[in-house]
Amino acid sequence: MTDRVKLVLASASPRRLALLEQIGVEPAALLPTTVDETPERNERPRTLALRLAEAKTRAGAVMAAQDPELANALVLGADTVVAVGRRILPKAETEEEAADCLRLLSGRAHRVQTAICLTTRKGGLRSRLVETRVRFRRLPEKEIEAYLASGEWRGKAGGYAIQGLAGAFVAKLTGSYGAVVGLPLCETANLLAGEGYPLHRGWTARA
């Protein structure tokens, strides 16, 4: 029975898919969802991350239920929020947004809140929130301009992707690197195992 448990990733993120594959998890399907990510008035970064992860998971579950092959699958959703204090930074869509984020983050610490949410076999939801502290070294303006020219910032929370060129900006990281990329692996593995997902089934083939 356990081997029949399937997983649906409610995301189109290649980074989250790669992180799942790193721990031997191959989703049966990817079901990207569209939810309004606008923060509510006075909403805290951690509250926003949890709310959006749960909203994405619920939306993914509705889509999965329409496919007989996925009707009983577990659905995993996630969201990452970058903040300086209580100020939530955008998922940069313009060069100006990304530049503003990088100048704000230059030479200072910030927090990355990553929430994951998983449907349960009984139709409920289980969520986890992981906070990671990241400190950037001071970024010269020429370096910011060069990073903007790379285009890696587009669509990224806080205007940067730590798994790419921006890894050179990080002077210190306390917490989960995977969470900053988009998925905390330890917490994700624990949630999946708790719902009977055969997490270790493919591990022996890697020996």
Query: Would you please indicate which residues are annotated as catalytic (active-site) residues?
Result: 79
In the three-class reduction of DSSP (H, G, I as helix; E, B as strand; rest coil), residue 130 is classed as: strand
Sequence-ordered list of residues with C-beta below 8 angstroms from that of 18, at least 6 positions apart, any chain: none
The region that residue 175 occupies, defined by phi over 0 for left and psi between -120 and 50 for alpha, beta otherwise, is: left
Measured distance CA(102)–CA(123) in Å, rounded: 41
State how far the alpha carbon of 54 is from the alpha carbons of 30, 61, 170, 182, 202, in Å.
16, 10, 29, 15, 28
Burial 175-198 (b: 16+ CB within 10 A, else e): bbbbbbbbbbbebbbbbbeebebe
State how far the alpha carbon of 198 is from the alpha carbons of 24, 74, 133, 186, 205, in Å.
10, 12, 32, 15, 14
Angle (nearest 5°) at CA 184 between 183 and 185: 105
User: CA-based Rg of the chain, rounded to a whole angstrom?
Assistant: 18
